Every structure is written in C-alpha cells, then in structure tokens.
Amino acid sequence: MLIQSAAADLPTSGLHLFHFATSSCSQKLRIALGMNGASWIGHVVDLSAHENYGPDFLAINPRGMVPVLVLDGAVHVESNDILALLEERFPEPCLFPADKRAEIITLLAEEDALHHDLRRLSFRFVHGRSGTTKTPELMRAYRAGSPTDAKKAAEIAFYERLAETGLDAATCRASAEKFRAAFDRFEARLAGHPFLIGETLTVVDIAWFVYAYRLAAGGYPLKELHPRVHDWFEARRAMPGWEKEVALPPIVVERAAAALARDRAAGTTLAALLGIPD
C-alpha cells in the first residue's frame, strides 16, 4: 500500500526498511529480502521504547506500525502488500507463482486477520504479561498524533481493550483455538505435499513460519496437535537465514522460560488451554 508521508527527510533513493527485530511482520519481510538477495538499508524502530508512537515515525507512517518500506522515496506500508511489491521488483525466487496467486492472496488475508491473536498469545506466553505497557498518556498522544483510519482505529481499540480487561484464560483460549483451526487446515494440505499450498515454496510458507515460530516459543503444542505442520516447520527452520530473522533476543527467551515455569505450576500453559497436558 503506497501512502503519502509527511516526513521531510525520507531517503530518496535505494531500498530502506523501517523495522524491529521481534515484529512478526518485519520478520516476514526480512526473510523474503534475504531470499531475493536485494540490497537494503535497515532503520530500527524500537517498539519496546514506543518509538513507533513518536512524532518522527508517525510522520513517516501515520498508523504507527512497522514495517515500512521506502523504495526510491516512495513509502509503502502493510507487510503483505510490501511482499507483493518486492515480488514485482525482485522476481527471483518466485514466491507468488501465477497459478497460485489468488489462493496466496486469500491465505495472506487470513493470516493478517490473526495478527492481534498472535499478539495476545505473544504478550501472555512469550513476554509473560497480561496487560499493556502503553500508558494512557502515550495512547492519547498516539490518537492525537496523526489521522486515524480503520487500521489505526483497530490498533487503538486493541490496546484500549487490553488495558481494560487484560488477557484472561478465555481470551487466550479463543485466540489459540483460531490458530488450532488454521493449523488443522494446513495439516490436511500437507498430506503428500512439502509446502503449504503444494509443491512450491511460496510467501505463505514464510508468513506461517513466522507465526509458528512465535507460537512454539510460547509453548504451542505443534508436534502433538499437527505432526505434519511440525515436520514442515522443522524443514523451514533449516532454510538458510530463516531462523536468524525470527530468533528471540536472550531477554525475551528468559521471559518466556519464566512464564512457562509459572504457568506449569499453575496449570495454565498454552498447551493446557488447548487440552494438552504439559
């Protein structure tokens, strides 16, 4: 998606990626860029420090979200749209085969619709927290800092609800069940095929590898519930450079381990929510 940016000092040539290490949408793009060999310049936007809500970044992307791709001065947002753009500019390897394009677009839309569910499960089972780190003052600044569209409104609503209700077991179970249903569909697709939509690796494999890695880090019982998906996941982990782009920083690994220990003691692990003894 091409947008008009209000930033005055954007780079006017080359390929620039505004991203963050643990942003799942940023991870998708970095894997794709690693595969197509494009030369790019990275600009880290520290989400943990809320830099994406600051005036400088909101001038680039009023939605306050990463990743943002700046290609020869043009600003592009929304990771799946950027992936399609990269395919046009760097068609090797082909990640959007023509005969699968409509199916890919549908599956990417389904993946995008689960983004807030992934965020809920990441917060609760990877970062070990059930509330928000965004203060009311920060949210007020975000709301007032740039125009609001449907995407930004959804972000505001997500964090307002998180501040009000937190992440209880019922909320997390509902999000986990959505992923269970999606993985069940892929389990059927993988019968006799090495990739999620047939014989050829596509951008769908990248997108769902990112999700599977994050969920596995939070204790999702992938092997127990979806053995074919587990084998597919392990094969993707062996792809050159893929795991490097999704690996969690040591401090997050420590948080996830501490959260898992607490949840095991309380019987409230992600696996337990799905009825799998942990």
Which residue, 214, 217, 219, is CA-closest to 273?
219
pLDDT in tens, 172-199: 999 999 999 999 999 999 999 999 999 9
Q: Are 90 and 37 in contact (CB under 8 A)?
A: yes
Q: Packing angle between helix 24-36 and helix 79-89, nearest 10 degrees?
A: 10
> Is the pTM of the predicted complex or chain greater than 0.85?
yes
Which residue, 26, 122, 108, is CA-closest to 67?
26
Q: How many CA atoms lie within 13 A of 224 on its CB side?
A: 12
pLDDT at 1: 79
Distance of alpha carbon 234 from alpha carbon 80, whole angstroms: 23
Q: Are 87 and 189 in contact (CB under 8 A)?
A: no
Q: How many CA atoms lie within 13 A of 66 on its CB side?
A: 27
Residues paired with 41 in a beta bridge? 16
pLDDT at 278: 75
Phi-psi region of 6 (alpha: psi -120 to 50; beta: other; left: phi over 0): alpha
DSSP for 135-184 reads: -HHHHHHHHHHS---HHHHHHHHHHHHHHHH---HHHHHHHHHHHHHHHH
With DSSP H G I counted as helix, E B as strand and the rest as coil, what are the percentages for the chain, rounded to 5?
Answer: 60, 10, 30
Domain parsing of the chain, residue ranges: 2-93, 100-130+167-273
pLDDT at 277: 86
pLDDT at 8: 66
pLDDT in tens, 211-241: 999 999 999 999 999 999 999 999 999 999 9
- Residue 246: count other Cβ atoms within 10 Å of its Cβ: 22
What are 37's two structure tokens?
A: 């060999």
CATH classification of 2-93, choosing from 3.40.47.10, 3.40.30.10, 3.40.190.10, 3.30.420.40?
3.40.30.10
Distance of alpha carbon 120 from alpha carbon 175, whole angstroms: 7
What are 261's two structure tokens?
A: 């220990």
What are 161's two structure tokens?
A: 């609800």
pLDDT at 9: 82
Which residue, 108, 69, 109, is CA-closest to 89?
69
Residues of the chain with pLDDT under 70: 6, 8
Distance of alpha carbon 106 from alpha carbon 103, whole angstroms: 5
Domain 100-130+167-273 is of which CATH architecture?
A: Up-down Bundle (1.20)
